[in-house]
C-alpha cells in the first residue's frame, strides 16, 4: 500500500478549506483537513513544497512512523502550521487504513464507547430577548447543550454575536458562525473587560430563570481576561452552574490557571489554539482544566490528539474538541471517530457547515436528537467532490482583531 499521489486542494465554498488527498497504488484514497483559519496558504505551502515530496513512495500503512518522521524529521517542531500539515497527513492515512480494512476509523481506535456524541451549538444575541430566541432555535434544531454569548452595552462588535460585522464582505454567512471576513484587511472590533464582567452574570441569571436549571450552558471568554479577572468571572458565574468557562485567559501561560482555580469551581476548558501535548503538560498534570479543547486538525491529527486525551484521562479530564466552521467536514469526521472511541469524551462543539460546503464534502455523519455519530462507512466517511471544489477558488479572509477605547490592541 504505497502512496503514489498527494494533492493539496484549496476550496472556498462558504469559507476557505485546505484538504490533503492521498491516493495509494491500490487505488485507496484518504482525506485530511489542514485548514488554519486566516493563514490557510501557509499550510498549503508547507504541504505542497515540503511534505508532499516526502510522501510519494511511502508505505501508507505506517501511520505512527510517518507521524514521527514528519514531526522529528523537520527538526523545527510544533506550531499551528506544522501541526495542521501533519494532522492532514495523519487523518488521510487513518482514512486509507479504514478503507483498506473495510471499517470506520472508530472501529480501528477500539470501537464505540457510547451511542453518540453530545454536541453543543452557539446561541447568541445582542440583547437577552435575541439570545432567548437563539437558544430556542437551537433547541428546535435538536441541541441539548448551548453556548451562550451576548452583546455588552457600549460595545459595537463582540466575538460570537450574530448579525453584527456582517457587512464586511462575507455575504450571507452569520457572523457567529463565521467570524473570518473575506477581504484584504481584518475587521476591527472593540473591547472593554470591565463592562463585560459587569454584564455577563446578569445574562446567565436571566437565561437560568427562563430555561431552568437543567440545560447545560457554556461560555467562551476568548482569551481576553487576566488571571484575576478570570477568577472573578468564574466565581460570579458559579450560581448558574456552567458546563464550562472556555479560554478565560490567553492560553500561552499555563500557570495563569493556577490562580483561576484557587478562586472558582466553575469548570474550565482550554486548548483550541494548542498544538501538542507539551502545551497541556502543566494544565493536565496540575489538574488546572476540566476539558481539552483541541481539534484533531490543529493538534497533529488523530494519532497525537489521542495521546493528549489518554494523558488527560489519567486526571479525569475530558474532551471538548473544537468544532467551528473552519474545521472542515473532514476534520469534524476525525473528531467524531475519535470522540466515539475514547472513554473520556466530554462534549463536541458542532456549528453546522453551510449548504455549499456540504455539496463539496459528501459526509456520512448523522445528527439526531442532540447527538452526532460519524456513520459506518469505511474510513472517515467523507468524500471530496473535486468538480464542486473547483467552483470555489480561495478568497483572502482574516479573523477580526480588537482595540480598547484608547486604541491599544487587545486579545481577540
Ligand atoms: Mg473558543
Which three cell numbers, joined as nine digits, stand for 377? 462507512
403 falls within a domain: no
CA distance 267 to 352: 25
User: How far lies 393's CA from each of 38, 46, 97, 301, 380, in Å?
Assistant: 15, 19, 30, 25, 25
Which three cell numbers, joined as nine digits, stand for 272? 483550541
Span from the CA of 372 to the centroid of ligand 1 (angstroms) = 20
- Ranking 62-76, 130-144, 156-170, 345-359 by mean pLDDT, the lowest is 156-170
202 and 308 together in one domain: yes
pLDDT, averaged across the chain: 95
Which three cell numbers, joined as nine digits, stand for 367? 445528527
263 and 339 together in one domain: yes
User: How far lies 288's CA from each of 236, 243, 259, 304, in Å?
Assistant: 19, 15, 9, 21
Span from the CA of 245 to the centroid of ligand 1 (angstroms) = 10
231 and 180 together in one domain: yes
CA distance 54 to 71: 13
Task: Tell me the three state secondary structure of residue 366.
Answer: strand
96 and 132 together in one domain: no
CA distance 364 to 381: 5
CA distance 82 to 43: 7
Span from the CA of 235 to the centroid of ligand 1 (angstroms) = 20
18 and 165 together in one domain: no
In 3D space, the residue among 72, 68, 64, 53 whose CA is nearest the CA of residue 93 turns out to be 64
What does the longest C-alpha to C-alpha distance in the chain come to?
61
H and E: helices and strands count for the chain: 14, 20
pLDDT digits (tens, 9 = 90+) for 346-405: 999 999 999 999 999 999 999 999 999 999 999 999 999 999 999 999 999 999 999 999
Structural domain range at position 70? 3-104
Share of the chain above pLDDT 90, in %: 93
Task: State the CATH number of the domain containing residue 169.
Answer: 3.20.20.120
Number of domains in the chain: 2
In 3D space, the residue among 78, 68, 212, 198 whose CA is nearest the CA of residue 135 turns out to be 212
Q: Which residues are catalytic?
A: 159, 222
Residue 4 has pLDDT above 60, yes or no: yes
73 and 159 together in one domain: no
167 and 67 together in one domain: no
Span from the CA of 325 to the centroid of ligand 1 (angstroms) = 12
406 falls within a domain: no
355 and 214 together in one domain: yes
Q: Tell me which of 178 and 107 has the higher pLDDT.
A: 107
Domain boundary, last residue among 57, 77, 104: 104
Return the number of other C-beta atoms located less than 10 Å from residue 386's C-beta.
13
CA distance 325 to 67: 26
In 3D space, the residue among 346, 352, 382, 345 whose CA is nearest the CA of residue 367 turns out to be 352
Amino acid at each position: 500500500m504505497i502512496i503514489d499521489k498527494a494533492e493539496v486542494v484549496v476550496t472556498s465554498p462558504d469559507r476557505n478549506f485546505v484538504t490533503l488527498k492521498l491516493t495509494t497504488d491500490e487505488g485507496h484514497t484518504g482525506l485530511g483537513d489542514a485548514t488554519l483559519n486566516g493563514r490557510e496558504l501557509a499550510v498549503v505551502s508547507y504541504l505542497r513544497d515540503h511534505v508532499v515530496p516526502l510522501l510519494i513512495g511511502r508505505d501508507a500503512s505506517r501511520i505512527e512512523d510517518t507521524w514521527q518522521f514528519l514531526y522529528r524529521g523537520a527538526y523545527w517542531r510544533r506550531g499551528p502550521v506544522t501541526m495542521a500539515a501533519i494532522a492532514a497527513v495523519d487523518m488521510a492515512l487513518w482514512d486509507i487504513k479504514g478503507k483498506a480494512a473495510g471499517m470506520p476509523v472508530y472501529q480501528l481506535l477500539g470501537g464505540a464507547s457510547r451511542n453518540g456524541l453530545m454536541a453543543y451549538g452557539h446561541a447568541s444575541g445582542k440583547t437577552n430577548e435575541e439570545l432567548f430566541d437563539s437558544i430556542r432555535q437551537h433547541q428546535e434544531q435538536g441541541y441539548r447543550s448551548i453556548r451562550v454569548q451576548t452583546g455588552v452595552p457600549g460595545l459595537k462588535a463582540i466575538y460570537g454575536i450574530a448579525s453584527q460585522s456582517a457587512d464586511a464582505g462575507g455575504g450571507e454567512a452569520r457572523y457567529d458562525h463565521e467570524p473570518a471576513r473575506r477581504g484584504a484587511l481584518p475587521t476591527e472590533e472593540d473591547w472593554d473587560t470591565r463592562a463585560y464582567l459587569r454584564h455577563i452574570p446578569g445574562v446567565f441569571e436571566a437565561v437560568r430563570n427562563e430555561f431552568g436549571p437543567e440545560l447545560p450552558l457554556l461560555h467562551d471568554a476568548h482569551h481576553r481576561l487576566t488571571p484575576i479577572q478570570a477568577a472573578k468571572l468564574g466565581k460570579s458565574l458559579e450560581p448558574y452552574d456552567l458546563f464550562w468557562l472556555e479560554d478565560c485567559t490567553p492560553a500561552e501561560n499555563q500557570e495563569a490557571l493556577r490562580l483561576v482555580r484557587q478562586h472558582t469551581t466553575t469548570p474550565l476548558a482550554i486548548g483550541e489554539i494548542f498544538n501538542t501535548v507539551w502545551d497541556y503538560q502543566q494544565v493536565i498534570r496540575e489538574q488546572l482544566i476540566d476539558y481539552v479543547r483541541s481539534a484533531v486538525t490543529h493538534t497533529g491529527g488523530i494519532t497525537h490528539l489521542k495521546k493528549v486525551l489518554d494523558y488527560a484521562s489519567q486526571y479525569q479530564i475530558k474532551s471538548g474538541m473544537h468544532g467551528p466552521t473552519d474545521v472542515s467536514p473532514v476534520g469534524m469526521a476525525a473528531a467524531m471517530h475519535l470522540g466515539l472511541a475514547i472513554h473520556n469524551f466530554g462534549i463536541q462543539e458542532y456549528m453546522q457547515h453551510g449548504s455549499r460546503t456540504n455539496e463539496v464534502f459528501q459526509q456520512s455523519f448523522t445528527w439526531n436528537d442532540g447527538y452526532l455519530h460519524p456513520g459506518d462507512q469505511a474510513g472517515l466517511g467523507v468524500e471530496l467532490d473535486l468538480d464542486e471544489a473547483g467552483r470555489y477558488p480561495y478568497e483572502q479572509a482574516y479573523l477580526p482583531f480588537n482595540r480598547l477605547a484608547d486604541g491599544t490592541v487587545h486579545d481577540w
